[in-house]
Amino acid sequence: MAVKQMQYIIIGASAAGMAAAEAIRRLDSEGSVTVLSDEQDMPYFRPMLPFIVSGKKKFPEMMLIGQGPYRGANIDVRINSRVEAVNTADQKVSIKSGEELPYDKLLIATGSVPNIPSDIAGVEAEGVFVLRTIADACAMAHRAETARHAVMLGGGLLNLKAAFALLERGMDVTLIVKSPEVLSKLMEPDDTVLIRNALNKAGLKLVTGSSVTRILSDSSGVIGVLLDSGREIPCQMVCIGKGIRANVEFLDKSGILVNQGVVVDKFTRSNIQNVFAAGDVAVTLDPIAGERIVTGLWTNAAEMGSCAGRNMAGQPGIYSGTFGILNAAQVADEPFVSMGIVHTKGTAYEIHITATPETYRKLVFTPDGTRLVGALFIGDISKAGLYRYIIREMMPIKDIKSEIVNHRLHYGHFLR
Amino acid sequence: MSQPKEIFVRLDRCVGCHTCKIACSVEHSRSKNLFQAISEQPAPKNRVYVEWAPPDRKVPILCRHCEDAPCMHACISGAISRTEEGVVITNSDKCIGCWTCVMVCPYGVIGRHMETRKAYRCDRCPDLQVPACVDACPTQALVYRTVAAFSGDVRQDAAREMISGKGS
């Protein structure tokens, strides 16, 4: 008897969706794999959007298929195909055009959408951006051709990258954060000295402890912002980077359980049979902090997507979760890595900090000092992967603790 | 299809002479000549490392070109891919210097060109028949074989030890 050909439908063509498609293809060469995207363009490496804003790269240079592990062989990617609803009873999805597609296995990988705070007035003005899609990036780059001054709302990593992209274009850029420092999700204010210096050196103007209440505009679009302090900053464009939320509205009547994001078990399955979820849209577990989290990170999404793909193709695998914080980046001349638990103020964690004029290292151990739970490296990030491995595997560290603290750790220490 | 060769490390043979590191640096220099390479700017970089671990072990470490390479899946710009020979390579033109690969590599073998902001690692010397580190190793602590041949050698050694009564 011939085995029935499986129909896999994947909603979302970014990291999680495409990684899942590749994983399915590796295990099942017969089934049909269809990836539905609501964007106008073929899949691309989303984290590279700042390079479109700066003008340093063109869109073809950031296309996904054919690069890295993404072959795209025999994977049907349909752009302009926003999914409007999922009918889990009949196992069908309806797309914008009215077409209905049946599925045997469905993956929700719709990612996240930018969070726009409701307490900012005037966000609909021309020249107000969020950086999420290639269309957003192109629009920003276009506005930047004539704008002289940009104001960035929010001090997260993506907004910092966007800020640098605009600085590279020669614009004046002011970043406004409510927190006392930038990158407050990835480090504590006391940890940011080197980053802060690098930002200053790069010419970024920073306003901390402030928020924007109103975006001012006229017929030309944005002309300035009004701060809660009453101060006005003239500008011609505004970029909002105030976090993300899971893109789940279309699941309203599907019966799929949503709590901040799609709730999944350790096999990436939702509460409904044959429906899986991965990436920013899924709620996952941080095994270190023991919390349920929604990450917003390409690397995590790709890993979870691969795992979901294998589960969908009938090879069960456990997704062990990820750290809520797992970021590597370079801000101006300053590389940094932040992972695991790095916020320690008012906690009993054992902390080791080594600061030099060029480097900063913070290692966070459990209160009894027996396990590494977090690491922040600024300036020198070499061998960071070893530390991630120790944190993730919850390795006993008794014999190598001084190597960890003194940055002498190498792979040889892992060998018995 | 012939099996691709890999670089294997025989820990019991390494004496910690660091010859492999020098050979690696020279092979990845512009001149490919030790005396000229020394003065090149930026300085050529080795991709094999020799570390010391207690009680007194010397450990050569280099990219394992992992089967399910974490760096390749983590890369946010599609710069890391696998060649037909199974070598995991970083494409410098595509690398954007975000260091995600450095963060996820469990061996700690991805280096950073600070001047150009590009990641680098062992490329198994694509221009050579035998990688420079293997060729230079005076004790054959590094060998370049197929998996089948190397594991065959390990079995033979074990068998010899058993016959001679050394094994238990």
The 3-state secondary structure of chain A reads CCCCCCEEEEECCCHHHHHHHHHHHHHCCCCEEEEECCCCCCCECHHHHHHHHHCCCCHHHHECCCCCCCCCCCCEEECCCCEEEEECCCCEEEECCCCEEECCEEEECCCEEECCCCCCECCCCCCEECCCCHHHHHHHHHHHCCCCEEEEECCCHHHHHHHHHHHHCCCEEEEECCCCCCCCCCCCHHHCHHHHHHHHHHCCEEECCCCEEEEEEECCEEEEEEECCCCEEECCEEEECCCEEECCHHHCCCCCCEECEEECCCCCECCCCCEEECHHHEEEEECCCCEEECCCCHHHHHHHHHHHHHHHCCCCCCCCCCCCCEEEEEECCEEEEEEECCCCCCCCCEEEEEECCCCEEEEEECCCCCCEEEEEEECCCCCHHHHHHHHHCCCCCHHHHHHHHCCCCCHHHHCC
Q: Is domain A341-414 classified as CATH 3.30.390? A: yes
Q: How far is A415 from chain B (nearest CA, A)?
A: 9
Q: Does B38 touch chain A (CB under 8 A)?
A: no
User: From the list A61, A384, A412, which residue is nearest B102 (CB)?
Assistant: A384
| pLDDT higher than 60, residue B114 | yes
Tokens of A78: 């349909």
Beta bridge partners of B57: B53
What is the pLDDT at residue A290? 85
Beta bridge partners of A307: none
Task: Please compute the mean of the pLDDT values over residues B29-50 and round it to a whole number.
Answer: 95
What is the pLDDT at residue B166? 61
Contact A383 B106 (CB under 8 A): no
What is the domain partition of chain A in residue ranges? 7-113+245-312, 128-242, 341-414
ipTM of the complex in this document: 0.92
| pLDDT higher than 80, residue B2 | no
Reported confidence tier of residue A294, pLDDT bands at 50, 70, 90: confident
Q: How far is B83 from chain A (nearest CA, A)?
A: 10
Kindly give, in sequence order, each residue whose CB lies less than 8 Å from that of residue B155, ignoring residues fewer than 6 positions away: none
Tally A–B CB contacts below 8 A. Answer: 117
Of the options 3.30.450.40, 3.30.70.20, 3.30.70.120, 3.40.630.40, the CATH number for the domain spanning B5-163:
3.30.70.20
What is the pLDDT at residue A2? 57
Listed residue (A341, A327, A269, A339) closest to A108, CA to CA: A269
Task: Please compute the mean of the pLDDT values over residues A191-196 and round it to a whole number.
Answer: 94
| A4 or A70, higher pLDDT | A70
- Is residue B68 helix, strand or coil? coil
Read off the pLDDT of residues A19-56 as tens digits, 9 standing for 90 and up.
999 999 999 999 999 999 999 999 999 999 999 999 99
| pLDDT higher than 60, residue A320 | yes
User: From the list B11, B97, B106, which residue is nearest A389 (CB)?
Assistant: B106
Q: Do domains A7-113+245-312 and A128-242 have the same CATH topology?
A: yes
Cα–Cα distance measured from residue A31 to residue B116, given in angstroms and rounded to the nearest whole number: 44
Listed residue (A193, A187, A199, A196) closest to A362, CA to CA: A187
CATH superfamily of A128-242: FAD/NAD(P)-binding domain (3.50.50.60)
Contact A385 B99 (CB under 8 A): no
| pLDDT higher than 80, residue B121 | yes
Amino acid found at A23: A
Kindly give, in sequence order, each residue whose CB lies less than 8 Å from that of residue A194, ignoring residues fewer than 6 positions away: A334, A358, A359, A360, A378, A379
Q: Which 124-143 residues of chain B touch chain A by CB within 8 A?
A: none
Residue in chain A nearest B112 by alpha carbon? A382
Contact A385 B100 (CB under 8 A): no
Q: Is domain A7-113+245-312 classified as CATH 3.50.50.60? A: yes
Q: Which 66-95 residues of chain B touch chain A by CB within 8 A?
A: 70, 72-82, 94
Read off the pLDDT of residues A128-150 as tens digits, 9 standing for 90 and up.
999 999 999 999 999 999 999 99
